[in-house]
Amino acid sequence: MKFAHVCIESLATVLPEETWTSASIEERLRPLYERLKLPAGRLELMTGIRERRQWPAGTKPSDASAKAGKAVLQRSGLKAEQVEVFIHCAVSRDMLEPATASFAHHKIGLGASCQIFDLLNACLGFLNGLVTLGAMIDSGQIKCGMVVAGENGRPLVEQTVQHLLTAPLNRNEIKPFFANLTIGSGAVAAIVCHEDLLPAGPKHRLLAGAYLSATQHSELCQGDTSGQGLQMETDSEQLLVAGVEVARETWQKFEQETGWNRATPDHFICHQVGSTHRRKLYETVGLDLAKDFSTFETLGNTGSAALPTALALAVDRGVVKPGHKAALLGIGSGINSLMLAVEW
């Protein structure tokens, strides 16, 4: 998986203004905590997540994606009519049909000569979108595309809180729902193009990547819609163990594909889950934690928007600078892992 002419022309993230702290969620769960004698502060202690953002009630995923799409166009040196493919890659979606991409495409104001579709793969969707656009660019099908992810975690967190307060669950039975409380909202977009569309000078290049599928673990984290609304259950302990092992094996393939080693990247940007996941991942793969850039402390887990949002914020804050090499360590339910090498 190598790319010859693919550049990330611009990248932008948009975050909700409404903040939900872990303490405020636990306050809503006070009756559950008192009934099961759970210590206050366990949510932040176990995850490292102090707060997360949520969109206003009634916000659709396409609304969030459109905010990010408009933001990235404002930063771009390219025009909306130059976007030939538009991919919506969020876990969240407006409805089953039509594709959420159709709503977001219209709201952003992209042109009619633009192929649109949804690409869904849990928290890996955005990276899959980058790879898809990269392949289309290098094959000569297109010159420019946009990938977006607008995640709305508010309904899941609210419904999880309601379920925990009304269902007669014991300490063991609440475990599959605990990960839901870490979910936040956000949106991110990137314009990806052929290097020929860019002026002379430094470019943000997508270089190469590696992937691994371990679908024997597909039952460890499952989300769905039903008559009771949106539901998700996660075996967090087993998902952690299996996930970091898949990441370790993917990193070995990543080194072979890119020619990089553990010391090559200036920065590591991984999927934002929490402090335990981050520590275990870096220990298992043998990477330098000092090179990590994290956002989970204040944004929580924003699904497919999490990793690219972290990259966007690292760039905006001057952490990732021109010439820096960054390894994007993606992992998602399934379990699937995709790691990409970029040179900024």
Tell me the three state secondary structure of residue 59.
Answer: coil
Catalytically annotated residue among 89, 114, 123, 193: 123
Count CA within 13 A, CB hemisphere, residue 68. 35
How many residues belong to the chain? 344
Amino acid, single-letter form, for residue 315: V
Contact assessment for residue 192 and residue 321, using Cβ atoms and an 8 Å cutoff: no
Contact assessment for residue 270 and residue 292, using Cβ atoms and an 8 Å cutoff: yes
Q: Please state at what angle helix 125-138 crosses helix 306-316, rounded to 10 degrees.
A: 80
Amino acid, single-letter form, for residue 233: E
Contact assessment for residue 326 and residue 206, using Cβ atoms and an 8 Å cutoff: no
| Non-local CB neighbours of 96 within 8 Å, separated by 6+ positions | none
Q: Is the dihedral of CA 286, 292, 298, 299 positive or negative?
A: negative
Residue 51 appears among annotated catalytic residues: no
Residue 123 appears among annotated catalytic residues: yes
Residues facing residue 205 across a β-bridge: 7, 343
Angstrom distance (rounded) from CA 162 to CA 136: 44
| Non-local CB neighbours of 159 within 8 Å, separated by 6+ positions | 228, 229, 230, 231
DSSP H helical ranges for 121-263? 125-138, 154-166, 175-178, 236-258
Count CA within 13 A, CB hemisphere, residue 125. 27
In order of 101, 157, 211, 265, the CA distances from 341 in angstroms are 27, 33, 12, 9
Contact assessment for residue 90 and residue 59, using Cβ atoms and an 8 Å cutoff: no
- What is the set of active-site residues? 97, 123
